[in-house]
């Protein structure tokens, strides 16, 4: 490097901390509108794709947005349940498929989704390793869950206790990992799937009891002749095995068991319209089209984004003005340096080239840094979107 180029490089390296701060500020200003647009476009695309693949969602009357986000993205919301009898009534309809979902439970912070095998067929989910849940107490992991928890078929996974200090709630269940799903790029990657009846175990509605005669003396609270008094929490099974599977039973009628939501897949558009009106008829129930709900949500987001864009424009303009002020003050502070350059024979053109080169390098570095950050956002968008949705 010779001449003005050498002077530009030496000057920027000499003032490296100040140069880095200026580049970072300009890069953030450039990144905000680009990164926001990338995230919003990706978020909108994923929400619409998931919603368009689900014709109807049925749940207890309430907020349609909460119902759709919980049923499609497994958000941790306490949805008021509806009875499983609603599902049984829909099962008798050959023109549609009803897929129940039981939500609200977690395993190491990941949502547990109790459902039926129809769910995997409708979502196009296939195991990359192992198989789908085959038995009560089995589970299959989404690709992200399996990777982050380092679990594989044959391992075990405990559910999280719902209330750590409430002894009346069901104890954590040790579930056998039966398989790992292939990556889908959707919320399914971040969930743990189990049979619907397994979710009822987690809710304390279905459980098995050990034979008190076979329990160790430490688990027996007292004896009264042939009667044995055993603590309820001790004698409930914490795991489903081949040996105790037959001992699990429901406390109540199956039709009265709770489900959080029902995904309904009619065979055609005409059936979908008819079923929407019929399922939405009772005052205690709602049937919504996820595509319409998501469109309303995105319309609200778009209005908020217009305000965000206005604020961003002001921020970018302010940042550019501040950067210009910093550069102007820097030139004034370097007046002596410029006089020295003139004294050693540098022409006015050379001095202008040096100063313009410094400004150009800072601007180009800021644009490159902003572009790299936008590229990183585009590649990490699925993870960021899961945080936004969840």
The pLDDT assigned to 385 comes to 54
Mean pLDDT to the nearest integer, 172-191: 92
Better pLDDT: 13 or 150: 150
H/E segment holding residue 127 = strand 127-130
Measured CA to CA in angstroms, residue 151 lies from 144, 181, 242 at distances of 10, 12, 22
Query: Among 55, 57, 47, which Cα is nearest to 186's?
Result: 47
Which carries the bigger pLDDT value, residue 342 or residue 186?
A: 186
More confidently predicted of 343 and 188: 188
What is the predicted pLDDT for the residue at 381? 59
Q: What is the pLDDT of residue 135?
A: 86
Closest CA to 179 of 197, 193, 196: 193
DSSP β-bridge partners for residue 195: 115
pLDDT at 224: 54
User: Where does the pLDDT of residue 235 fall: very low under 50, low under 70, confident under 90, or very high at 90 and above?
Assistant: very low
CA distance 126 to 270: 30
State yes or no: pLDDT of 256 exceeds 60: yes
Residues 226-233 have a mean pLDDT of: 49
| pLDDT cut 90: percent of the chain above it | 32
pTM strictly above 0.85? no
* Neighbouring-strand partners of residue 176: 138, 156
Tokens of 88: 């049984």
User: What pLDDT digit, counting tens, does each position of 33-49 carry?
Assistant: 887 787 788 778 888 99
The Cα 84–Cα 182 span in angstroms is 29
Delimit the domains of the chain by residue range: 3-46+298-389, 56-288
| Residue 134 contacts residue 126 (beta carbons within 8 Å) | no
pLDDT of the residue at 218 = 46
99-108 tens-digit pLDDT: 999 999 999 9
Q: If you write DSSP's letter for every residue of 76-105 in order, what string do you get?
A: ---PPPEEHHHHHHHHT-TTEEEEEEEEEE
- Identify the weakest region by mean pLDDT among 63-67, 281-285, 297-301, 315-319: 281-285
Residue 234 pLDDT class (50, 70, 90 cuts): very low
> According to the model, what pLDDT value does residue 219 have?
44
Answer whether residue 230 shows pLDDT above 50.
Answer: no
**358-390 per-position pLDDT tens digit:** 888 888 888 888 888 877 776 665 565 555 555
pLDDT(129) > 70: yes
Shortest CA distance to 139 belongs to which of 113, 161, 120? 113
Q: Which of 282, 252, 251, 249 is nearest to 89 (CA)?
A: 282
Query: How far apart, in whole angstroms, are the C-alpha atoms of residue 26 and residue 23?
Result: 5
Name the band, by pLDDT with cuts 50, 70 and 90, for residue 145: very high
Contact of 297 with 50, CB cutoff 8 Å: no
CB atoms near residue 264 (< 10 Å): 23
Share of the chain above pLDDT 70, in %: 86
Q: Give the 3-state secondary structure of residue 194.
A: strand
Per-residue tokens: 65: 């947005």
Two tokens at 297?
Answer: 């949500």
What is the DSSP code string of 282-339? STTEEEE-HHHHHHHHHHHHHHHHHHHHHHHHHHHHHHHHHHHHHHHHHHHHTHHHHH
**Do the bridges between strand 110-115 and strand 192-195 make them parallel or antiparallel, or are there none, so unpaired?**
parallel
Residue 237 pLDDT level (bands cut at 50, 70, 90): low
SS3 128: strand
pLDDT digits (tens, 9 = 90+) for 292-315: 999 998 888 888 888 888 888 888
Helices (H), 203-289: 232-235, 269-279
Q: Among candidates 156, 154, 155, 158, which has minimal Cα distance to 112?
A: 158
Mean pLDDT value across residues 69-93: 87
Q: What pLDDT is stored for residue 216 in this prediction? A: 47
247: Cβ contacts below 8 Å, ≥ 6 apart: 208, 209, 210, 237
Q: Which residue has the tokens 């160790």?
A: 216
CA gap 176, 158 in Å, rounded: 9
Comparison of pLDDT for 1 and 71, the residue scoring more: 71
User: How far is Cα of residue 130 from the mean position of the Cα atoms in its chain?
Assistant: 24
- Alpha helix locations (H) across the chain? 3-14, 16-52, 64-73, 84-91, 117-123, 143-149, 196-202, 232-235, 269-279, 290-333, 335-343, 348-389
pLDDT value of residue 291: 92
For residues 72 and 52, the answer to whether their CB atoms sit within 8 Å is no
């Amino acid at each position: 490097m010779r001449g003005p180029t050498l002077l530009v490089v030496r000057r920027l390296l000499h003032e490296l901390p100040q140069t880095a701060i200026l580049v970072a500020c300009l890069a953030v200003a450039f990144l905000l509108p680009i990164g926001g647009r990338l995230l919003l476009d990706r978020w909108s695309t994923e929400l619409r794709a998931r919603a368009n693949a689900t014709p109807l969602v049925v749940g207890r009357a309430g907020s349609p947005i909460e119902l759709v986000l919980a049923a499609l993205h497994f958000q941790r919301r306490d949805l008021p349940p509806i009875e499983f009898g609603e599902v049984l009534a829909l099962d008798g309809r050959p023109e549609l498929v009803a897929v129940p979902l039981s939500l609200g439970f977690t395993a190491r912070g990941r949502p547990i989704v109790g459902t039926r095998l129809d769910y995997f067929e409708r979502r196009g989910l296939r195991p990359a390793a192992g198989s789908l849940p085959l038995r009560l107490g089995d589970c299959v992991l989404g690709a992200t869950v399996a990777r982050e928890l380092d679990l594989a078929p044959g391992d075990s996974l405990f559910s999280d206790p719902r209330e750590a200090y409430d002894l009346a709630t069901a104890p954590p269940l040790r579930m056998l990992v039966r398989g790992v799903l292939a990556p889908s790029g959707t919320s399914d990657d971040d969930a743990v799937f189990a049979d619907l009846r397994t979710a009822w175990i987690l809710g304390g509605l279905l459980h098995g009891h050990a034979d008190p005669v076979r329990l160790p003396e430490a688990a027996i609270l007292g004896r009264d002749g042939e009667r044995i008094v055993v603590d309820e929490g001790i004698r409930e099974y914490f795991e489903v095995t081949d040996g105790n599977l037959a001992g699990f039973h429901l406390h109540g009628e199956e039709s009265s068991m709770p489900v959080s939501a029902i995904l309904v897949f009619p065979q055609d558009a005409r059936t979908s319209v008819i079923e929407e009106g019929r399922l939405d008829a009772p005052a205690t129930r709602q049937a919504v089209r996820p595509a319409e709900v998501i469109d309303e949500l995105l319309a609200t987001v778009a209005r908020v984004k217009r305000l965000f864009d206005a604020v961003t424009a002001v921020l970018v303009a302010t940042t550019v003005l501040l950067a210009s002020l910093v550069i102007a003050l820097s030139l004034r502070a370097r007046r002596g340096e410029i006089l020295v350059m003139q004294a050693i024979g540098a022409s006015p053109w050379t001095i202008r080239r040096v100063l313009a080169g410094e400004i150009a390098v800072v601007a180009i570095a800021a644009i490159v840094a902003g572009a790299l950050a936008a590229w990183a956002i585009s590649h990490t968008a699925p993870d960021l979107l899961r945080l936004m949705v969840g």
